[in-house]
Amino acid sequence: MLSYLLTTIRKSRIRIIPALENRYKRNSVLEGIYQRLRVFSVLKQIPIYINKDKTFYLNGFPFPNSFAQSVVDGLNDAGIYSVKIYTPKRRISNIKIFSRLSFYSLSILPVLFKIIRKKKSRLDLVDLQVLIGFAGYKVFLKNNQNIVPIIISDVSPDLHMIWAAAVSLKREVMFWQIDYYYYNGPEFESMVPFPCTHAAVLNQKGLEIVINQAPNAKIYHLKQTPLIPLKPIPENPEIGLATNAFFTGSPSQIELLNQIKKQFKISTIRLRLHPRSELSSSSFPAGLVTIAPRVETMEDFAKSVDLAIVGNSAVQLNLLCSGLPVVHISGFDPHGFDAYGYCQEGFTFGVNDINLLDVKQIERFYANPLWANKLFEYVNIKDLAQCRPLSELEISE
């Protein structure tokens, strides 16, 4: 159990600490109080009891184009309907939040004291937040014996906590690969840090990672991805920008948008915001961008423009598969150039400097006869015999 906890703490710090550093700072006294109360914040998201007719627990509201919605759609397509899937409501009442905080705070105190007593080093606030979440999810799983957590492969701190809790209780867990992510990925950041009993995978790399990390898991394949031929880039292309969750509309990013307009001699850029983004038209200078509807699918966005600019996001491959040429540049998130390795591996055309961007270079890159075959092999599963259709998913009663 300790190894699961330590891994959860280490991986959670990667996201929690930057979030704390970028958050609005109150005065020092209020900030100190808030930071100490925040360690209990995870508890307000954990339901106490779930109806017995539910089989799966999905930690995320399925709003349009979200990862949670893609999981719900995938299960529905396989004949596992929404009635079997618990998803949280978009907004939780204050009464329910207070009930959850009270119930779990009282329930986890003995477990928390036991963990703290065993850990000899001093615990900081991130450690405490993870320990509280881990203990809370253990109580939740014990109270809901029929529930199987679904772990989306974009693993948030909350998902690490419930995953570690489930494994420590020897409960069934389902891993779900929702995107392609890194081509090979850093060795210390596997998509599957803990065992799982079931896994739904998208491509060969996802299959290999699950087999390596969870050799006893039952593996199911998701729908294979067809490739639509890339559309030609016209002389005066319509330009779109697809952002990730780290795009904030900062002054430097707005300046980069202005450079794109100048480079392509266009009047506006069609902006597809990440589903969790809170930006709106008022976040940008008038006329700079036209924001795509939140409910617009990736396929419809790909049809609406002639060329897409992207930062570090797996959306690059989704757009390419939808027939849209893509250019990766740095500056639209804090992760530098080609963090996913898609340019290095030859999937995506990329430039560090927008002023060096040339349409003819883009066309030559994607005209390579080997490009389409390489992409198709990466986004799909070569060894389908090692998987079974998701419609054959069986969960123990």
Are residues 174 and 25 part of one domain?
yes
Percent of all residues in the chain with a pLDDT value above 90, rounded to a whole number: 56
Residue 83: per-residue pLDDT? 81
Asked if the model's pLDDT at residue 133 lies above 80, the reply is yes
pLDDT-derived band at 320 (thresholds 50, 70, 90) equals: very high
Residue 229 placed within a domain: no
Q: Are residues 159 and 275 in the same domain?
A: no
CATH number of the CATH domain containing 340: 3.40.50.2000
Say whether both 291 and 172 belong to one domain.
no
- Mark whether 203 and 57 lie in a shared domain: yes
| Residue 186: predicted pLDDT | 45
> Quick check: helix, strand or coil at residue 68?
helix
Indicate whether 232 belongs to any domain.
Answer: no
Identify the residue with better confidence: 186 or 218.
218
91 or 285: whose pLDDT is higher?
285
**Residue 309 counted as domain residue:** yes
Residues 6 or more apart from 364 whose CB is under 8 A from it? Answer: none
Whether residues 182 and 159 fall in one domain? yes
The answer to whether residue 230 is domain-embedded is: no
Count up the domains in the chain and report the number. Answer: 2
Is the pLDDT at 246 greater than 60? The verdict is yes
Same domain, 211 and 244: no
Considering the domain architecture, whether residues 339 and 362 belong to the same structural domain is answered as yes
What is the pLDDT, as a whole number, of residue 17?
66
Over range 328-339, report the average pLDDT.
Answer: 90
Alpha carbon distance 292, 272 (integer Å): 5
When pLDDT is averaged across residues 119-128 and rounded to a whole number, the result is 70
Predicted confidence (pLDDT) at residue 190 exceeds the cutoff of 70: no
H-assigned helices in 268-343: 298-304, 315-321
Q: Give the per-residue pLDDT at 343.
A: 93
Band of the pLDDT at 81, cuts 50, 70, 90?
confident
Percent of the chain with pLDDT over 70: 88
How much is the pTM?
0.86
Residue 253 has a pLDDT of 94
Q: Residue 91 falls within a domain, yes or no?
A: yes
Enumerate the β-bridge partners of residue 30.
Answer: none
pLDDT confidence tier of residue 256, bands split at 50, 70 and 90: very high
CB 183 within 8 A of CB 204: no
Check whether residue 247 and residue 220 sit in a common domain.
no
Are 281 and 175 within one domain? no
- When pLDDT is cut at 50, 70 and 90, the band that residue 5 belongs to is confident
Residues in CB range of 50: below 8 A, 6 or more apart: 57, 86, 144, 146, 147
Q: Are 214 and 195 in contact (CB under 8 A)?
A: yes
> Within a domain: residue 165?
yes
For residue 140, the model assigns a pLDDT of: 96
Q: Is residue 397 part of a domain?
A: no
* pLDDT tier at 310, thresholds 50, 70, 90: very high
Residues 203 and 300 grouped into a single domain: no
In a domain, 338, yes or no: yes
Which residue did the predictor score with more confidence, 10 or 153? 153
Q: What is the residue range of 296's domain?
A: 239-378
Identify the pLDDT of residue 185.
46
Average pLDDT over all residues of the chain: 87
Average pLDDT rounded to a whole number, residues 146-173: 92
The pLDDT of residue 187: 46
> Do 209 and 246 fall into the same domain?
no
Do residues 210 and 112 share a domain? yes
pLDDT at 367 exceeding the cut of 90: yes
Across the range 227-232, mean pLDDT stands at 95
